[in-house]
């Protein structure tokens, strides 16, 4: 009975049904004429280029989704031999473009779920987490980063250990291409959204005055929206999403009693930064072996690098006596949003992000040059950057540097500038 339930939750037809109920359908061959002559639904034309491709002819009235995989090859085995409903177009080079068509009937849901999916991507992490450090409360931010790093490593490593495929297309419409070469179980978007939402809520309870019911509803809505976006984009089965949410909730329940102890060690124990940097690198370098190249190892290295850099940064900040300590009795009143406060927040954020961008460029450039010189290889070759001995060190150094700058250098600069 349990096995039958698991199989039913893995059925890609469930995902396809959800997509259709939200107004997203595959555009099958032979439908173009019918759609052009009698279909009242609005269409949009869009293309995405694969590696080495130089463009795809566009048909007015259709939305296209790229069906290519890493390094310009197709990995058929992960979706039961089906690449999907695609058409191949010749290009001026020897490469070919693969295009899968789909039709959007409800643009409101389309943009809502695309935005929700972006909340589980790198652009959200490199803005929201630093913003929390600089403008909300480093007490909350430290918990967010620690929890996020651990649950994301669990989720990422589980994918390459279990090797469960993503839902096949057809019948599912796939709106994302960057992670299509990755395995599906569990959904790390669901893990991250659930962990971040409820960690923020739990860390705020007893520290700030706010309606607990509204906080719970906000956390529930955010995590649910991001989780459903993984079904809408066709990147996960229902089982993937359920397991992702369950992993995050179980981890929060198991570790919540020791959050205060861990935070105290991060701030005061000089061994913690050493352990964090060493453990993060070893976990990245000994990531489960890939049977084909995907972005999971690189993304996991980025996450662990940020976590290691944060551990070093918050320890340094505490040694400098710059750890944020609110004045007054707990729970604190949330200050009103004034023009001066808003201006200060914007200035802090812009300055901080600028320093992170500079740090990323400098650290990435120097680490790649050093590795290229050490291994005597050209870093202009993308395949070289994907090698284990190149990819892990340069990404780990880059994002560890970003973590240190975000949590130590930037707060020190704010202190010096009285921001």
Alpha helix stretches (DSSP H) within 119-167: 122-131, 138-162
106: left (phi over 0), alpha (psi -120 to 50) or beta: beta
Token couple for 69: 């995989």
252 pLDDT higher than 50:
yes
Q: Which of 84, 105, 126 is the endpoint of a domain?
A: 105
Same domain, 131 and 73: no
Same domain, 269 and 375: yes
Model confidence band, residue 100 (pLDDT cutoffs 50, 70, 90): low
Query: Is 31 within a domain?
Result: yes
pLDDT at position 38, please? 39
Same domain, 95 and 117: no
Backbone angles phi, psi at 343, to 5 degrees: -65, -40
Other beta carbons within 10 Å of 92: 8
> 327: number of CA atoms within 13 Å, CB side?
0
Q: Which of 105, 135, 156 is the endpoint of a domain?
A: 105
pLDDT at position 60, please? 34
Query: Is 6 within a domain?
Result: no
3-class secondary structure, 148: helix
Same domain, 326 and 244: yes
Model confidence band, residue 123 (pLDDT cutoffs 50, 70, 90): confident
pLDDT at position 28, please? 64
Q: Distance between CA atoms of 381 and 38, rounded to whole angstroms?
A: 49
CA dihedral sign of residues 66, 70, 76, 77: negative
Distance of CA 198 to the CA centre of its chain: 17
Q: Distance between CA atoms of 103 and 178, rounded to whole angstroms?
A: 20
Query: Is 1 within a domain?
Result: no
303 pLDDT higher than 90:
yes
Same domain, 202 and 186: yes
Mention every residue, 6+ apart, whose C-beta is less than 8 A from residue 44.
62, 63, 104
Q: Which of 105, 137, 171 is the endpoint of a domain?
A: 105
324 pLDDT higher than 50:
yes
> 199: number of CA atoms within 13 Å, CB side?
29
Q: pLDDT (tens digit, 9 = 90+) per residue, 265-282?
A: 999 999 999 999 999 999
Per-residue DSSP letter, 368: H
Same domain, 364 and 264: yes
Q: What's the whole-number mean pLDDT along residues 5-16?
A: 86
Same domain, 183 and 67: no
Query: Is 95 within a domain?
Result: yes
Same domain, 89 and 190: no
Q: What is the DSSP string of 7-48?
A: HHHT-HHHHHHHHHHTTEEE--TTHHHHHHHH--S----B--
Residue 352 and residue 130 in contact, taking contact as beta carbons nearer than 8 Å: yes
Q: Which domain holds residue 324?
A: 111-417
Same domain, 80 and 141: no
Same domain, 101 and 115: no
151 pLDDT higher than 90:
yes
Query: Is 9 within a domain?
Result: no
- Residues annotated catalytic, as ranges: 189, 236
Mention every residue, 6+ apart, whose C-beta is less than 8 A from residue 5.
none
Same domain, 59 and 185: no
Query: Is 239 within a domain?
Result: yes
Same domain, 50 and 120: no
For residue 98, list its beta bridge partners. Answer: 88
Per-residue DSSP letter, 292: S
Residue 49 and residue 136 in contact, taking contact as beta carbons nearer than 8 Å: no
Query: Is 15 within a domain?
Result: no
């Amino acid at each position: 009975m349990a096995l039958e339930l698991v199989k039913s939750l893995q059925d890609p037809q469930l995902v396809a049904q959800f997509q259709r109920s939200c107004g997203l359908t595959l555009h099958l061959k032979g439908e173009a004429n019918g759609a052009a002559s009698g279909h009242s639904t609005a269409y949009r034309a869009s293309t995405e280029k694969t590696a080495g491709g130089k463009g795809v002819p566009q048909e007015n009235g259709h939305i296209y989704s790229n069906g290519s995989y890493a390094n310009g090859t197709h990995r058929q085995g992960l979706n039961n031999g089906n690449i999907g409903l695609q058409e191949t177009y010749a290009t001026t080079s020897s490469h070919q473009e693969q295009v899968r068509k789909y039709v959007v009937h409800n643009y409101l849901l389309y943009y809502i779920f695309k935005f929700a999916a972006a909340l589980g991507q790198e652009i959200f992490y490199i803005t929201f987490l630093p913003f929390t450090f600089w403008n909300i409360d480093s007490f909350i931010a430290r918990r967010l980063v620690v929890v996020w790093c651990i649950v994301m490593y669990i989720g990422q490593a589980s994918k390459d250990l279990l090797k469960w495929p993503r839902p096949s297309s057809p019948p599912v419409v796939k709106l994302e291409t960057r992670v299509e070469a990755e395995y599906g179980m569990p959904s790390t978007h669901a893990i991250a959204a659930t962990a971040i939402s409820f960690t923020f809520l739990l860390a705020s309870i007893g520290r700030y005055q706010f309606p607990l019911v509204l906080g719970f509803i906000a956390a529930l809505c955010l995590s649910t929206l991001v989780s459903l976006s993984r079904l809408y984009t066709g990147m996960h089965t229902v089982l993937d999403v359920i397991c992702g949410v369950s992993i995050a909730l179980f981890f929060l329940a198991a570790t919540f009693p020791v959050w205060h102890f861990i935070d105290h060690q991060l701030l005061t124990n000089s061994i913690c930064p050493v352990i964090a940097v060493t453990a993060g690198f070893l976990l990245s370098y000994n990531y489960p072996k890939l049977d084909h190249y995907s972005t999971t190892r690189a993304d996991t290295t980025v996450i662990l690098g940020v976590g290691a850099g944060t551990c070093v940064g918050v320890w340094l900040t505490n040694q400098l006596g710059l750890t944020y300590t609110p004045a007054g009795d707990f729970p604190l009143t949330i200050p009103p949003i004034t023009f001066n406060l808003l201006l200060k927040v914007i200035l802090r954020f812009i300055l901080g992000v600028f320093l992170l961008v500079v740090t990323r460029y400098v650290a990435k450039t120097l680490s790649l040059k050093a590795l290229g010189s050490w291994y005597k290889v050209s870093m202009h070759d993308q395949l070289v950057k994907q090698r284990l001995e190149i990819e892990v060190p340069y990404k780990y150094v880059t994002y560890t540097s970003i973590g240190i700058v975000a949590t130590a250098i930037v707060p020190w600069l704010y202190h010096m500038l009285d921001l």
